[in-house]
Chain A
């Protein structure tokens, strides 16, 4: 097993609102492997986006990391550009400090869901792409930065990048904007790219193009990708590993084949059943019963128990711990606690 690039350990993120505390992320343990794609799947409100933002320490107020570690191992990049060894705990860095800023954009980059609003309409594409380059590569001249920007725009398959670099984002199509976002993120060859539902706002054809592009560039740049999505079709297409989240917990984690072929957690099973299938017989679509509970009323015990069809009496009181079923297959469910082996807490 390869050493992880990022280790998330017992991460807890709470939002302190006037109405009460929202426990958006409630004890996540997760590894991101260098050069691989990790898909994080979950319904809205599962905490997947918040978790992604925490990797760069850009959670919005009143959100706050209250506990846990995000260990980032600089040395463990497959290409080995970074010589420093040892881990940085991102969770402990000052969110406005120099240390986290030198990681943002340069080593861990992020692209967002809405390509329409994620770029400022006030500045040209070139301005916004070059900004990242000039920020992290000291001493680079304006002209060099521009050439680099054109080069990276070309690599994300933008036609006529020399001309487009002086365009304003609002004059581009959604797909083009998302390419610009990707170019911006890749401009400093990060070792981890976080993509928060980057294709949700795009139409299906563009979506496929963007996904292909990302996979291609992943090979080229040799970077890890953490891909946040609720679309299982996308997961099947791009993931190496999958983490399924529910109400601030990772309930199941494994490689993509295991998740799709032999899921163990009732929630994962239910999710997979809810994918529409093309079959000869018409049958009603399986749905997960009930709704995601209000964030203020997180159920006790296993948070999924009110909707779980296989729930035991103890599920409403006992918090299940992480259980390793096989190598690279972890599940958080009481049904499997006896059969598996408890993951030792780091």
Chain B
């Protein structure tokens, strides 16, 4: 699968990047392509392009706050989870997505 994700936490730094790493590692371990955008205190980094969003099978929004530029995400299959869930159990989240999309 092609997985794209956006992470954003309330204080905007540590958890945003912990979630990014957790999603990347879990996705790669399960054999998927992955790109994770962060919306943190330093703004949008590693931003998802229109092409990447079009080609993605699923968009994971791991966020505790209101995201920016959500108009990009309108016509994509997506799942929204709390940041803590991504950090603690990214593997379980991706496994569930695999089952749903199979």
A binds B: no
Task: Please give the residue numbers on chain B whose beta carbons come within 8 Å of chain A beta carbons, in ascending order.
Answer: none
